[in-house]
Every structure is written in C-alpha cells, then in structure tokens.
Amino acid sequence: MRDNMTPAESVLWEHIKSNKLGVKFRRQHMIERFIPDFVALSCKFIVEVDGEIHNFQREKDEERTRLLEENGYRVIRFTNDEVLNRIEWVVEKIKESILGNT
C-alpha cells in the first residue's frame, strides 16, 4: 500500500471523493490479495489508474482483473494520460459504469 498518490490518482480522487458520484469510493482498500487504486464497495466497482509500468505487465493486470471480476467486482482502467488530460471524459465513463452497475 502506498501513502502518496500519483499525480493522476490525486486528480481523479478530487473528482470522486466525498460521494461526488453518488457512491463512496475508498482509496487503496484491500480486496483478497489486491489493493485497487479506488473501490466503491456498495456497488463492487473498482477504478484503476495505470502508469507506464502497466505497459509491461498486461498479462498480470488481466489476471488481476479476472480474479476481481470472479469476486463480483467490475473493474475499469484508465491511463495516467487519460486522467491528466481528459478528466471530464474519465469521470463521465465512471458515472456511466456506475449507473450500469447499480
């Protein structure tokens, strides 16, 4: 677990914290053996913000997503670039996914 958020995580957190999207998100909440970036437990929804390292661990990320989905979670991923340069679009995609998930 990390104490400090990445710049992209900080930007996204400002848009989703405090029930701003109608659900409560938690930062780095452990699920099974994984610690997702953000999770809304009430609707079993996970948001991951992927940095450059994820370009080299796609198989690992796919396996992690599969295991979380097997536990009933919906996982959505965004790149740092998407969060930092298209935050309105990212927030809209999260809203759409939550509405489709509740």
For residues 51 and 9, give the distance between their C-alpha atoms in angstroms, rounded to a whole number. 10
Please give the domain boundaries of the chain with CATH numbers for all domains.
7-101 (3.40.960.10)
For tokens 């390292």, name the residue.
53
The answer on pLDDT for 101 being more than 90 is no
Please write the tens of the pLDDT for every residue from 9-62.
999 999 999 999 999 999 999 998 899 999 999 999 999 998 766 455 678 878
pTM comes to 0.87
Give the helix/strand (H/E) hosting 93. helix 87-101
Q: Do 33 and 91 meet the contact criterion of CB atoms below 8 Å apart?
A: no
Which has the closest alpha carbon to 13: 40, 35, 33? 40
Joined tokens for residue 73? 């979670």
